[in-house]
A and B are shown apart, each in its own frame.
Chain A
Amino acid sequence: MTRLWPVMAMLLCLTVPWIPGLPLFSVTLGNLIGLAAIVTVGLVVLTGVGGMTSFAQASFVGFGAYTTAILSTRYGVSPWLTLPLAIAAAGIAAAAVGAITLRLSGHYLALGTIAWSVSLFYLFGNLDLVGRNDGIDGIPPLVILGWKLIDVRASFAVIGIGLVLAVIATRHLLDSRWGRAIRALRGAAGAASSCGVEVPKARLLAFVYAAVLAGFAGWLFAHLQRAVNPTPFGLNASIQYMLMAVIGGAAQLPGAILGAALVVLVNDRLQDWLPRLLGSGGNYETIAFGVLLIVVLQAAPSGLWPLLSRGRTRARTLTPAPALPVRSARPVGSPVLEVSGLRRSFGGLVAVDGLSFRLAAGELLGLIGPNGAGKSTSFNLLTGILAPDAGVVRLCGEEVTGLAAPAMARRGVARSFQHVKLASGMSVIENVALGTHLRGRASPLAGILRRDRAEEAMLFAEAARQLERVGLAGFEDRPATSLALGQQRLVEIARALCLDPTLLLLDEPAAGLRHQEKQALATLLRRLKAEGMAILLVEHDMEFVMGLADRLVVMDFGTRIAEGAPEAVRRDPAVIEAYLGGVA
């Protein structure tokens, strides 16, 4: 049934408009809903899933519409040939805007797109090329096998099929390697970047994809309305698309269609009723929509769709697949990590001051110290989340000081976080599969076209293997954030292991684990060590760390105060002083 829905939906699009007795007006409304839903599906990817906000979607619709309008009226290009060009125009425009704003915090994109939206509206309205405020008319209709699609019913069929294709493409994208990167952007961008995802690239991808769908809707709009002018591409239209996404439930694809339908239908009724109630001359529906937007945000922040559907995650069927190639293991004892003179300050506070240590393959080094000693900052310096002010970090002999997180991940550095960072909208196994990002090659386009299935099967087989290794087999399809905190930490370790790391950094992995889980974790770490992995462990559970670590480095106030075998460190007066504030 789930496989068949696109076929069923397309058949409906081809038959429903011709049902005898169906008023033409409702078909027209259906067309408006379909066009808006295509744009809103893009916003779901961008806003609901990716956590970014754009108020320029209507401008991208405009790019698509004007591109095909100009090419088909002035140069007689067939509409089918202008389709890729219209989509490309919207995509390129989005790439240009995105390149400027997407590296900044989220609200810059929103503000940038508002300014851009207003400015494009005036540009469309004043440029001779696009016919100024009069726009362009006489756009040729689409022709299929000699049949001109002029009728409203035929338009419905075309728009409906277009919407089905957009939904399928979006589903495929979100269920691909890059899709997981986009889904991790909201709430787990740091984790994604430590898995090797170039976060700005994933953001740009979501933004361009949303614009491409808008451009597609614009192309449809131009050939079905057969005339374009600047009005439907202004800021208010963009706000309306945002309203549709918010009302429907910005994180779900069916929500986009629900939202589009509600807004279009309510708009139609309001334009009918309100002037009768309040007299003409007002733009009352804008008041209603503005108020509605605020009310929905306050009353149902995740939209109406989740209220209608039962929140279920679909089980994924794992197919057997060949193992992924692995990095050649470093011989036990060869140097992996060499840190010297590492220093980082925040304003006047020196968090890490001249830290030096070495770590060899097959060795487990415990980094301990009281709260605020600089352990987590050291982790962030070593994994590329923060850049050090001074000092040198070498990884397997190569200097890697100040490299960004994805570059460190590519070199085989994997980590877990003290405050667990799992993507909340993804299942356990999808979160773990995020760790395989660098071990796949498939492009976003391959994902959309489902040319990535063989690779995906391999990635998920690897994720399942690592999940089993940390003792979470059977939890694959649970929503990741529904697990107990201790188990979430294990999911992070499985995700880190998916990177096939040379160096594994674990930030308090045992916190929140029960006794037996701790023992299982200890066994796993010993096995990883025996395989030649270098492990750096921050932990407050002394029993756990003393039993596991080959050596300990003790930090206090950002500096190393002791180093050596666990037994020697335990007796070190400086360590006792730091922990107990005097000789106990």
Chain B
Amino acid sequence: MDQQVLLILVQDGIVNGALYALLALCLVLVFAVTRVILIPQGEFVSFAALTYATLDTGHVPASLYLLASFGAAAFLRSVWSTRGRALVFLAVETLVLPAAIAALTVWLAPLKPGVVVQAALAVAIVAPMAPYLYRLAFQPLGEASVLVLLIAAVGAHLAMTGFGLMIFGPEGARGPAFSDAMFSLGALDVSGQSLWILGLTSALMAGLYLFFEFTLLGTALRATAVNRLGARLVGIRTTQSGLIAFTLAGLIGALSGVLIAPLTTVYYDGGFLIGLKGFVAAIVGGLASYPLAVLAALAVGIVESFSSFWASAFKEVIVFAVIIPVLLWRSLRHGPAEDEE
């Protein structure tokens, strides 16, 4: 392997790793706040990527139907337990918002308003599905055990994959790059898309950091993560924290989808594998440490790019095998855990 190939592989690894890092952050966040292991995270990625690709053809993406149905279902699921002013907010969140996004999309899509607007639209269409999903699947389970929530998450993943096939069909698609520019850095060619990915990822991470450190909402989320009961006692509604965590996960998942769309052909079920790589990173961080998860995500990206060079048929096998030494190490380091439900 010459130096050039090595550099390209490392670059690929870092760019993909940055996306895995975003997903890993969301997984850690959602798990900490709601105790849900967000298996369907990957579906937000693939749905956004495919929506973005559809918008680029000037058509109205079918995912709008899914958004509207999810919103309506979430409304029906929550309306019985909501009273007073909260009912107005619920209606705005689950009925008006999807309608507004749909109107905007129907108006803008045929105009082909350019990649940035299309990307924003794709994120707007897909991201709200996450809080709707929370209202539908997880909020009613309340204080169920982590394992029950996990089984529900797997169910949500299964259903979402089915929806994905229904609305996007079995064909994959690629979205347009944000930038076609190429920069030369010594022996290495750096694409504009890579810079977009790295830039947006870093900005998002910085944004999340500021959000959690310096805003009241962020602090409330952290409090929920540390102690749910305690948070409730001081007046933080854990349901609301859950909704916010899911919204962030939806936003970031969808954004990752838009960013990854130009790099690879995305299929309706392809997000799952991408999300699972985020999981590998999140697990390395013990589902608790944000910095460790980010570092691990970069490592996962690099392992993946090298294994696709050397043994492409076994790429996925190798990436997921990374989890084994990590679990082994965790297992040896910690004493036996006693799960008492």
Q: Do A and B bind each other?
A: yes
Chain A positions within 8 Å of B166 at CB level: 278, 282-284, 287
Whether the Cβ atoms of B157 and A290 lie closer than 8 Å is: yes
Chain A residues contacting B313 (CB-CB under 8 Å) are 122, 126
Task: Offer 30 A-B interface pairs, CB within 8 angstroms, sorted by A.
Answer: A51-B147, A106-B146, A106-B337, A106-B339, A107-B150, A108-B283, A108-B327, A110-B147, A111-B279, A115-B276, A115-B279, A115-B280, A118-B276, A123-B317, A126-B313, A188-B340, A193-B338, A199-B336, A278-B166, A282-B162, A284-B166, A286-B161, A286-B162, A289-B155, A294-B136, A294-B155, A297-B152, A298-B140, A298-B141, A301-B148
Please give, as numbers and ranges, the residues of chain B lying within 8 Å of A188 by CB-CB distance: 340
Contact partner of B340 among A104, A187, A243, A301, CB < 8 A?
A187
In the complex formed, the residue of B with least CB distance to A293 is B155
Q: Tell me the bound Cα distance from A105 to B150 in angstroms.
A: 13
Q: Is the CB of A290 within 8 A of B156?
A: yes
Q: A495 to B316, alpha carbons, bound, how many Å?
A: 49
Q: Given B37, B146, B160, B327, which contacts A101 in the complex, CB threshold below 8 Å? A: B327
Is B331 in the interface zone, CB < 8 Å from A? yes
8 Å CB contacts to B: which residues of A21-60?
47, 51-53, 55
Pair A301/B144 contact, Cβ less than 8 Å: yes
- A118 to B277: give the CA distance in the assembly, Å: 11
Query: Number of residue pairs across A and B with beta carbons under 8 Å?
Result: 162
The reply to whether B146 and A100 contact each other, CB–CB distance below 8 Å, is: no
- Tell me if B62 counts as interface (CB < 8 A to partner A): no
| Nearest CB of chain A from residue B216's CB, rounded to whole Å | 26
A110 touching B158 by the CB < 8 A rule? no
In angstroms, Cα B330 to Cα A239, docked, is 26
Residue of A nearest to B318 (CB): A119
Whether A112 sits at the interface, judged by CB under 8 Å, is yes
Q: Give Cα distance in the complex from A336 to B162, angstroms.
A: 65
A89 within 8 A of B: no
In the complex the two chains form, is B156's CB within 8 Å of A294's CB? yes
Q: How far is the CB of B32 from chain A (nearest CB, A)?
A: 13
- Contact code string B129-143 (vs A, CB < 8 Å = 1, else 0): 000000011001100
Contact across chains for A116 and B320 when beta carbons are under 8 A apart? yes
**0 or 1 for each of B11-36: is its CB under 8 Å from A? (1 = yes):** 00000000000000000000000000
Decide: A103 and B314 in contact? CB cutoff 8 A. Answer: no
Interface: A581 (CB within 8 A) = no
Verify if B83 is at the interface (C-beta below 8 Å from A): no
Asked if A297 and B144 sit within 8 Å, CB to CB, the answer is: yes
Specify which chain B residues have a CB less than 8 angstroms from the CB of A298 in the assembled complex. 140-141, 152
**Taking the nearest CB of chain B, how far is it from the CB of A435, in angstroms?**
18
Q: B residues within 8 A CB of A246? A: 151
Fill in one digit per residue for A96-135: 1 if any B CB lies within 8 Å of its CB, else 0: 0000110111111011101110111011001000000000
**Interface contact A104-B155, CB-CB below 8 Å:** no
Is A236 engaged at the interface, CB distance under 8 Å to the other chain? yes
Which residues 156-176 in B have Cβ within 8 Å of A in the complex?
156-163, 165-166, 169-170
- B147/A119 in contact, CB under 8 A: no
Smallest CB separation, A509 vs chain B (Å): 21
B115 to chain A, nearest CB (A): 30
Q: Are B151 and A114 in contact (CB under 8 A)?
A: no
Q: For the complex, what is the distance from the CA of A246 to the CA of B287, rounded to whole Å?
A: 26
Cβ contact within 8 Å between B339 and A103:
no
Closest-by-CB residue of B relative to A121 is: B316
**Cβ A293 vs Cβ B152 within 8 A:** yes
Q: Check: B208 CB closer than 8 A to any chain A CB.
A: no
Q: Which residues of B contact A55 (CB under 8 A)?
A: 154
| B-side interface residues, number (CB < 8 Å) | 54
Say whether A281 faces chain B, with CB atoms less than 8 Å apart.
yes
Q: Which residues of A in the span 279-314 have a Cβ within 8 Å of any Cβ on B?
A: 281-294, 297-298, 301
Interface residue A200 (Cβ < 8 Å from any Cβ of B)? yes
B329 to chain A, nearest CB (A): 10
Q: Which of B140, B160, B317, B338 is in CB contact (< 8 Å) with A290? A: B160
A282–B327 Cα gap in the complex (Å)?
A: 37
Return A338 CB to nearest CB of chain B, in Å. Answer: 25
Q: Please report B residues at the A interface, Cβ cutoff 8 Å.
A: 37, 39, 136-137, 140-141, 144, 146-148, 150-152, 154-163, 165-166, 169-170, 273, 276, 279-280, 283, 287, 313-314, 316-317, 319-321, 323-324, 327-328, 330-331, 334-341
Identify B341's interface contact among A120, A186, A285, CB under 8 A: A186
Residues of A close to B340: CB separation below 8 A: 187-190, 421
Nearest opposing residue in chain B for A122, CB measure = B316
Whole-angstrom CA separation of A108 from B279 in the bound complex? 11
Does A242 reach chain B (CB closer than 8 Å)?
yes
Evaluate whether A236 and B321 lie within 8 angstroms (CB atoms) in the complex, with A111-B283, A189-B338, A287-B163 already known: no
Judge whether B165 and A283 touch: CB under 8 Å: yes
Task: Return the contact of B337 from the options A104, A119, A122 (Cβ within 8 A).
Answer: A104
CA separation between A42 and B170, bound complex, in Å?
Answer: 34
Contacts of A123 in B (CB 8 A): 314, 317
Whether B169 and A281, one on each chain, are in contact in the complex, defined by CB atoms closer than 8 angstroms, is: yes
B288–chain A nearest beta-carbon distance, Å: 11
Residue A100 contacts which of B140, B279, B327, B337 (CB distance < 8 angstroms)? Answer: B327
Residue contact A53 to B151, C-beta cutoff 8 Å: yes
Instruction: Tell me the smallest distance from the CB of A486 to a CB of chain B, in Å.
Output: 22
Q: Report the nearest A residue to B321, measured CB to CB.
A: A119
Do residues B148 and A104 form an inter-chain contact, with CB atoms below 8 A? no
Q: Which residues of B contact A297 (CB under 8 A)?
A: 141, 144, 148, 151-152, 155
Q: Which are the 9 A-B pairs with shortest beta-carbon distances?
A: A290-B159, A293-B155, A287-B162, A290-B158, A119-B320, A286-B162, A126-B313, A115-B320, A282-B166
Instruction: Give every chain B residue within 8 A of A190 (Cβ-Cβ).
Output: 338, 340
Selected from B39, B147, B276, B339, the residue in CB contact (under 8 A) with A189 is B339
Question: What residues of A have a CB within 8 angstroms of the CB of B314 in the complex?
Answer: 122-123, 126
Determine the chain A residues whose CB is within 8 A of the CB of B151 once the complex forms: 53, 242, 246, 293, 297
A440–B128 CA distance with the chains assembled, in angstroms: 58
Give complex CA distance A278, B341 in Å. Answer: 42
